[in-house]
């Protein structure tokens, strides 16, 4: 009877264990809409590009809205094919643009909310997003020879070449990463690696004052886990003291997550996007002073 009771209990416990594995459902809405990156909509005068890099919270895991954005003022480069489409969630879609076959767990990240805020401040600009984040990626993959870094540079240069001549500009790099490097053994070298990343991006993209905006990672796990994230966040928040024309979004107060205490939910992601935009506006205003 004792063994039978254990087995029966397991039957009831197992579903709750599975419930802890939170996934982001795949897109079920219409296919991506192709966009011509070489031309501007009549109401716009320039194409402003933004590079999105980091790990899974930049990629986004928030649940998708019911209806996709369908606005020619916002375009995105497909992560796998380099094709251009009207921007919509998930920005980091890895699946086929028409069928979504091959879709992973990408969901809502901060990029689109950021773009919408920037567009309000710059209504005569078309916003082009270059998604290049990878879930679980350590900063070593963004080193000088790191495959993610090299791919991000390639995609950005391609986007700059494809946009309308004389009217296409890279405006900023957004960085949301740190969980993968928050172990005690990695923390001492993180600040130097981050500074190096900023320097290399500016050199390789030929813009010594290219704005680089980081964001703190979530401190939403139990206390025993979040202490290492707190230490990482102090390094991220110190970035503006290390490099000019940089900023760091403070998202430590945002605790909404998708159920795994790691990935921000849609509301938190959209707030991070708005804060990214506010930091960029702040950087630009300081540059004019």
| Residues in contact with 107: Cβ distance below 8 Å, sequence separation at least 6, in sequence order | 24, 60, 61, 62, 63, 64, 89, 90, 258, 266
| pTM: predicted TM-score of the whole model, two decimal places | 0.90
**Assigned CATH for 34-288:** 3.40.50.1110
Closest CA to 246 of 200, 280, 285, 212: 212
Count Cα atoms within 13 angstroms, Cβ side, for 123. Answer: 2
211 token code pair: 């704005």
- Please say if the pLDDT value at position 256 is more than 70: yes
214 token code pair: 């980081």
- Please say if the pLDDT value at position 25 is more than 70: no
| Helices vs strands, H then E, count in the chain | 8, 7
pLDDT (tens digit per residue) in 85-135: 999 999 999 999 998 888 888 999 999 999 999 999 999 999 999 999 999
pLDDT (tens digit per residue) in 1-22: 343 333 233 333 333 333 345 6
Residue 264 DSSP symbol = B
Distance between CA atoms of residues 230 and 253, nearest Å: 12
Segments in 163-222 forming alpha helices (H): 187-204
- What Å distances lie between residue 174 and 9, 69, 132, 166, CA to CA? 48, 21, 10, 23
pLDDT (tens digit per residue) in 50-91: 999 999 999 999 998 888 999 999 999 999 999 999 999 999
Please name the residue that has the structure tokens 């990214």: 276
227-240 burial by CB neighbour count: b if 16+ within 10 A, else e?
A: ebbeebbebbbebb
When pLDDT is averaged across residues 245-266 and rounded to a whole number, the result is 95
Please name the residue that has the structure tokens 């192709």: 34
């Amino acid at each position: 009877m004792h063994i039978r009771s254990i087995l029966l209990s397991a039957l009831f416990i197992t579903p709750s264990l599975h419930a802890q594995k939170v996934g982001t459902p795949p897109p079920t809405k219409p296919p991506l809409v192709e966009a011509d990156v070489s031309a501007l909509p009549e109401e716009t005068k320039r194409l402003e590009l933004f590079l999105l890099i980091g790990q899974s919270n930049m990629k986004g895991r928030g649940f998708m809205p019911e209806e996709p954005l369908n606005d020619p003022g916002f375009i995105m480069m497909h992560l796998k094919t380099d094709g251009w489409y009207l921007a919509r969630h998930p920005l980091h879609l890895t699946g086929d643009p028409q069928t979504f076959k091959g879709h992973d767990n990408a969901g809502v990240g901060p990029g689109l909310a950021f773009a919408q805020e920037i567009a309000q401040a710059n209504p005569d600009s078309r916003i082009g997003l270059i998604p290049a984040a990878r879930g679980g990626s350590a900063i070593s993959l963004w080193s000088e020879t790191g495959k993610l870094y090299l791919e991000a540079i390639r995609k950005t240069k391609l986007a700059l070449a494809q946009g309308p001549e004389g009217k296409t500009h890279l405006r900023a790099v957004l960085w949301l990463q740190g969980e993968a490097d928050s172990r005690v053994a990695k923390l001492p070298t993180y600040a130097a690696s981050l500074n190096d990343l900023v320097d290399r991006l500016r050199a390789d993209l030929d813009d010594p004052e290219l704005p680089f905006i980081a964001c703190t990672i979530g401190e939403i796990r139990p206390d025993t886990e979040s202490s290492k994230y707190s230490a990482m966040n102090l390094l991220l928040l110190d970035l503006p003291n290390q490099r000019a024309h940089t900023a760091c979004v403070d998202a430590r107060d945002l605790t909404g997550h998708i159920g795994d205490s790691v990935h921000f939910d849609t509301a938190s992601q959209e707030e991070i996007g708005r804060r990214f935009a506010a930091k960029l506006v702040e950087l630009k205003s300081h540059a004019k002073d």
